[in-house]
Structure 1
Amino acid sequence: MSRYTGEEQAEQILNAASEWRQRCLINGISLFSDKNFWNSQYLAEIESNVVNSQLELEGNFMLRLKEQLAGVSPEAKQFTAEMLWLLYLCASNISIKTKREQIKTIWDLSGELLNTDHAMLQSTVLSGIGSAGTGFNTFRAREFAYLTNVLKALLALPSAEREARLSDGFSFGEWLSAIPENASRQFRHMLMFLLFPDEFERVFSNNDRRTIIRVFKPHQKEELSAVAMDRALLEIRHEQEEKQHTQQLDFYVPPLSSIWQKTTEPVEQPAVIEPIDEALTQPEIMEPLNLILFGPPGTGKTYELNQLKAKYVSEAQTLTRKQWLTEQLADKSWCDVVFMALTDLSGKAKVPAIREHEFVKTKATALERTKNLHQTIWSTLQNHAAIDSNTVKFERRTAPYLFDKNSDSTWFLLPEAREECADLVSLVSSLKKPSENNKTINRYEFITFHQAYSYEDFVEGIRPELDEDSRELSYSPQDGVFRRICQRAEADPVHRYAIFIDEINRGNVAKIFGELITLIETDKRTSGDKGMHITLPYSRKPFGVPKNLDIYGTMNTADRSIALLDTALRRRFRFKELMPDSSKIAGSDDAGNILDEDGNQINLRKLLDAMNHRIRFLLSRDLMLGHAYLCPVTNLTQLKTVFLNQLIPLLQEYFYEDWYKIQLVFRDIDATGKLVEAPLIRHAKLTSKDVFGFTHDDFEEVVEYRVSVAQEITPDSIRKIYED
């Protein structure tokens, strides 16, 4: 059962979610009062004023939300506060205080004060059951919009049908797939866990979901839908429950966490790894590659990046022990490494012995800390020494408290330290054994640029560290993702490394790259003592980009921010265009066809080519539709869903809601402008007489457009797009 969450206390949170389901979703009653406002009427106000707001507002999510709610009814404001309660219920990386304050702030806008002693606002309910990551907070407005769309669809159903939908988890998951942005929103996974905790996991990150499936099911190659991933996770759980002889399992708690979080170690059988390109193991004869894949949406740019990843995977048996050990210690702090060294030294040793230990020397080499290493170890030991130590005089100590020393300066582990750091003790045992042949090492990083991404995230920046006891902040330089992958590549010159940057043009590239604009040039790359180094602004350390690091990016030509791509960066990258290719659409017969209800064919390849032919004429080749939208389609129902949830909204954006031109793309009108039979985009003309009951010369007729619902879309609605 997925209800077990280790040390996280999920019971009261799941009980609260169950009460919300019955009270709000089924009965329509407020969570914090006895009012009846969980209905479509008040949700429509929220959708209009918040989700579809035309206000150009600045500031964070809460500032914008308060401004957008200014014109809604008191009930809609209270409804919004309860939506925030639900949105924040799972997230443990938002503090209880912040959750409670923000919910109360929105509720109080209604003119009524919310009692913060309410059972649903207690700390045990608001504590959270898993980190939502920084992405959830960065895109909180999108998560709120997604929740609004889910509730809009649910509350539009009759009560009996709504309750039936909520009775079957996987059926509900399939139903959710029609909601815009369902595949990319973390709240989707939170909602499934809250509603169906016996079948769905508290794994809210799409990256974590994919990693778990890849590790436990190494032969699973194709990209899975959200529901297919849910089924795979449930299957993995059942397999592991049988293997571990317990139902008390959670993917973020040992033993399962130690399987997928540290390495990409498959279960049962070794992973099938594609042969490594010989050229990739010879960096001295292969120039570094700076490559950007670009093209319209849905042309397989991200898919191609995922295929390239296989070239940057090492089998553990091909690595030296030093290289392998560097990988295992990459995410360990100095406190962790010193603890592990002392553990291996029978729990006690003097600093010179710790300094010479293989773990410490490996970590020091990887971090380029070979100088003053003695002082680094002393500082670490004193900083994490026992509070009641009689021999350590250092005052500003930080948890965890693991060490103490005798009067002769022999350091030892505290009795409770081994239990507190059981995972590190286990890691020490595994690191003393030879590396297993079925382990793999990923020699790449995968990131996505966005508007808030910065140089400090990418290269290095000053980060605050909070002392949990003293509540004092200290600041120190911390490596960004690019510097970390450079350090790994420099320490392992016989292998090639890569960084994959999805949506590279979405960030402020000039600011993110900074001085890297020069360092990534082919003739400036470092190899040994050769190449260009600069002094980094925060750490004041020399830095260069190694010759065995490849940089890949993707750009969407439909994204209007592409024009902002730094000209200097353009000169330093090769560009590979990926355009729509209808031949890659398989359909249900591998020839690009699917069948309608009467057994007649719909040719998906001709369909895509016909739409793109018109889009290219009306707009440009950069805004055509990619084949990936139609690749998963095998029946008419799926095709309707693609049109309604993906293609029509995308064309609406392309044409700035010029519905007449969208009708031209779909051939919904004839040469005279009249609607043909079964159009995808319908319209009606309104005159002043239709509206006022009399003709008013000051007003011209208005054309009102609407998208056909799924039931109105027939096979001929689709076929007319490409048939003469």
Structure 2
Amino acid sequence: MQFTIDGSQYELTQESVRTALASREPGTINTYSIEVNGRAFPVKQALAAATGLSHDAFQSPRAQRILSALGFPVHGTREGKDEQAPTSSRARRQAIADAARPVLETGLHQRPSVFDGATITWTADTASALRRALETSDAEGTFRERLLSQLAGQTRAVVLLAAELCFLQRLPLLNVRAETKRKLLQDILDVLADGLQLPDEIVDALATPGTFHGGQGFNQQIPQHVQWLAHFVELWAQLPDQTRLEAIDDPWAFRSRTLDVESDAAPMRNSLLALLWPSTFESIVSTSDKEAIREAFAAALPGRRDGTEQHDVDRDLLALRDRFDANGDLDIDWYRSPWRDEWRMAEPNPHRRGWVMAEARHGEALSLRRQTTRPNFHSSRGSIRQEVLGAWNEQLPITDLLAQIDAATAYLVTMQVGDQIFVRSSDGIRVGEVGDLDPIRERPVTWRDPVSPADLPHAVLDILDSSPTIAEVDFLMPTPDPRLDLPTPVRLPRATPEFAERLHYEKTWLDDAIDLLEERRQVIFFGPPGTGKTFLARALADFIAPEGAMKIVQFHPSYSYEDFFEGFRPTVDENGTATFRLAPGPVRLLAKAAAENPTVPHVLIIDEINRANIAKVFGELYLLLEYRDADVALLYSPEEDFRLPENLFVIGTMNTADRSISLVDAAIRRRFAFVELHPGEEPVRGLLDRWSSANDHDVSRGALLRQLNDRIGDLDRDFQIGPSYLMGRSARTSAGLARIWEHDILPLLDEHYYGRFTRQEVRVRFGLTALVADAAGDLDPLDDTGILSERDDAASE
């Protein structure tokens, strides 16, 4: 099959895709997957491996179409060892509807309850009795306690109906565990004398991932929701048979029946409609959210063009979905970007920002000339969106249109006078201060002298290289102009695709780590040896801070407060007399630099943080790690108040093979966020395979490392071996691999198993030859040339 991306043509066969995936570790499946040799691969990973392109070159719908044309069955669910978890918005909605069907089918058709297969529960008398029981006012305690008290002495049908309605109310909630849902229903059934247990069908249904977070309001409203459902059942049972059949076949007729219930509980009604008609009604329980979405995109509603307006929010949302995504390729989830950005984005805070624009050129004013959508002057995103959507002729894909709305909003509304713009030029990086919009929607720029790329963090350089239409960068160059010294919150940049590719990590994982560092300001990467803790810490520091704004120190048993912060050092005065002077340590020096440049992130890396007496080294800095707005008197400078600047971030590394995290000082554990890097968990687990693939190595050591760590086992989890030992060039030859095993890996295991295994027993159990032999052909065998033979690693996965 042939296809074209960015003007280049590619040709694929099913066999070429299978070959490309044979030695790769499957990535995390977010939407669609294909199965190759019993393993599930994300569709974007499959095509990236086969073409050499990045994942970003493919949208899931495009990748799905290509792989389907090649003859691969494409799945819309995550394939795993446990239950199948739907991953697309459409699949999640349908899965939860299928899970609700056993109760709704039997109830709406007035058949025996799925709970016991014999009792008909959806009758007017049963629903009326349940409503009266729920209105009992003398019951006290939690909802569960009150409900069980109210059901005591009720008929079997009433108890089963209560279980069914609680099932419908709890089922679609993402923020309630399946175990909690099961326990409530089983407690209800335990009211009955015959010890009725939850049917397997219901247990399986409750394990289905939900579709929305109910929030505090939805959870607290469960009594009212069950009351509303009981009232609905009562009215439903009194309808003529033909009316019920018509409503079962027509979503709008069914909705009319739900609106007949007095004291409307809109969230429960919206949830019930989505359970029954997932392709017609959105899985949105908040009516205000529905209206906000409709209003945000109202200009695209057909009726708005001819002067008429529709007032049915459900029909309007369905019309928007049909217009934006007629083929279902976009799999719209209104609560995710880019859709959520249009109806729930907060107004931008008035602070200085940095920007990168593809059109920006040194010496020229800024503009959006290259963008096909160039709205007029506006004061808000909403007015820009209304103008652009109102003129949309559907020739431009809706996602591209939303991207242009985002760019226009950034340029016309969010960008302010005094912001900085970064551009590449022949003599380095140019930084300019942005001026106000002129009558032709251009922004003049006051350009400054060039700066070296080393003065900028890699995050800015990555974004410059990607040439975005317009992108905000969470970085500002220090400016000598005091008029522009406005208070600016220090934000760390999000991971770029280039950064993730350099580290062979998933971008989402890196974003989470950066978010955690931004929120807590102190994190510790911990794990067994060889998991890349220090490498990751230094890479993050280089990414978020420019050269000179990072310091690294290594703790050891004799490291002290005086080494770390400040202390007296021996020196010789001008008279040649030996004396002592108070000298700052790396923390004090970095804090001073950070205070002088408050818009620039500064990073302190503490390697092997657990090898020193942490309490002694930090001293009074303990308080400042938790309270950045506090001042403390210093040990050697008591007359001076000191505080840690907001823009100083601390990254520690800790080897769990040296010392368990549980032994670290409790005060430090409270002040640092801990992030585990472990060979058995992503992102470390597949790192060696991803690195081998990115470097076009013929073989990967991933299977060999997994074999070793499986043999070490979970009991010695903190002593498993990380991939760094096998990421050097020498690991590609049998001789080099043998040296690594003999001089790096086995000595670690000798030390760990000292007193448990002899040196010989360690080699018999964990030696390279033993692993290859015991793997029964699953690992890459060594050959006589010194190079591992090229073979498929897939069998060892």
Scaled to the shorter chain, the TM-score interval is 0.3 to 0.5
Normalising by structure 1, what TM-score? 0.40
Relative contact order, CA 8 A, sep 6+: which one is greater?
Answer: 1
Larger Rg: 2
Normalising by structure 2, what TM-score? 0.36
